[in-house]
Amino acid sequence: DHAVAVFTSGGDAPGMNAVVRSVVRCGIHHARDVFAVYEGYQGLVDGAGKIRKMEWTDVQMMIYKGGTVIGSARCKEFREREGRLAACKHLVDRGITNIICCGGDGSLTGANIFKLEWASLLEELRSSGRVTDAQAQKYANINIIGCVGSIDNDMVYDGTLTIGTDTALHRIVDAIDAVQSTASSHQRTFVLEIMGRHCGYLAWAAGVATGADYIFIPEAPSKHDDWESVLCAKLDHQRKRGARLCTVLVAEGAIDKFGKPIKTEYVRQVIIDRLGHDTRSTILGHVQRGGYASAYDRFLGSVSGALAVERLLRTKPEDASTIVGVKGYSVAFNPLVETIEATQMVAKHTEQLDFEAAIQARGKDFKRHWAIQ
Ligand code: ATP
């Protein structure tokens, strides 16, 4: 009979609202009290009006919306034990021991730390009289499930896409299509910067989907010392055989073979200086995150939220925390700790230019293999 809480944390991603709606309704369906925590971990730390009991109709008309209606925040206090102590107290006061966290690897790391620390937090609250012996006994364990909300698609797990990636990809492709019609009218070259932090998935997938001429992603830097010449030879060849427009996509984390960042503006200048193309650059920025959630992200968020609740209600105290992944028509529950560790290892190896090690750390997750090969 313990209550369920859901929150969104870290960068917002389209499809997070579908998760919240689905958790609320699935929890109510199972006769549980369901709370939405507003402003991510900040809401857990602050308590009071930021942890609100939800009714069925409170989540109507939100499945299609982008961003996150219940808010997200970066919260310094939750990184400290004092903040987590306050969060523990606020949850116990409301009888909440089932938590669904929708966020990126940072948010899920925080959730895992919270779970591991729960017993000692509770003991500190009990011994200082802030929770009763009965409460400490009843709420001795906390269950956590993660749903990965991130447009970057940077989680190493058994799941095809993270929640938000598909919408971002649609936005990017729409923007490139729009830019291409103006570029071809004037025989221009466009250099577009694509989000994704250390993950090149969005740039790579958008490049394939729009037939870009050149794509820079962090996972596969050019093998050439002088990548500028390779890029220009390619663009020159395209133009000479009649292409009226050229597009170059630069992932925000793109690097050269020495690990030096490749900046959009620099790429533009190289093309102007060496080829004389009429070259413009566009940083797509937050346009990529905005707007309505795509059909797939609504589906992904809804299925992930519902399955997270189903799983939580079957979780035993000794069970490890999991992350929900959806792959095709099946669902996989990935171990939370190992998944986060693998994700952070891939980021670290990529940063250190050790791509073989990054591939090893990816294990059976082939998303970035495709990009690299
Ligand atoms: P995105 O992928 O969009 O950056 P994220 O979930 O990785 O999302 P972070 O800013 O890394 O975003 O984390 C969000 C919040 O999670 C932090 O502001 C903090 O409150 C909490 N958090 C992250 N790491 C930890 C940690 N090691 N311990 C406790 N809390 C953490």
Mean pLDDT of 248-265: 93
Q: Is 152 a catalytic residue?
A: yes
DSSP letter at 258 equals: T
Q: What is the pLDDT of residue 369?
A: 45
Q: What is the pLDDT of residue 205?
A: 94
Mean pLDDT of the chain: 91
Q: How far apart are the first and last CA of the chain?
A: 50
**Hey, what's the torsion of the CAs at 261, 370, 160, 112, to 10 degrees?**
-50
- In the sheet where 143-148 sits, what is the strand order? 51-53, 34-37, 3-8, 96-103, 143-148, 322-327, 330-335
Q: What is the pLDDT of residue 365?
A: 53
Instruction: Kindly give the distance from the C-alpha atom of residue 106 to the centroid of ligand 1, in angstroms, as a whole number.
Output: 3
Mean pLDDT of 139-143: 95
Q: Check whether 367 has a pLDDT greater than 70.
A: no
Spot the catalytic one: 12, 105, 152, 154.
Answer: 152
Residue holding tokens 């919306």?
65
Strand pairing of 214-216 and 51-53?
unpaired
Q: How far apart are alpha carbons 336 and 325 in whole angstroms?
A: 11
pTM recorded for the entire structure: 0.92
* Predicted confidence band of residue 26 (pLDDT cuts 50, 70, 90): very high
What 3-state DSSP class applies to 35? strand
Instruction: Kindly give the distance from the C-alpha atom of residue 104 to the centroid of ligand 1, in angstroms, as a whole number.
Output: 7
Give kind and range of the element (H or E) at residue 259: none
Amino acid at site 158:
D
Query: Tell me, what's the ipTM?
Result: 0.93
Instruction: Kindly give the distance from the C-alpha atom of residue 196 to the centroid of ligand 1, in angstroms, as a whole number.
Output: 16
pLDDT digits (tens, 9 = 90+) for 224-238: 889 999 999 999 999
Indicate which residue's Cα is closest to atom 12 of ligand 1: 10
| Cross-strand pairs, 279 | 189
Q: How far apart are alpha carbons 16 and 293 in whole angstroms?
A: 9
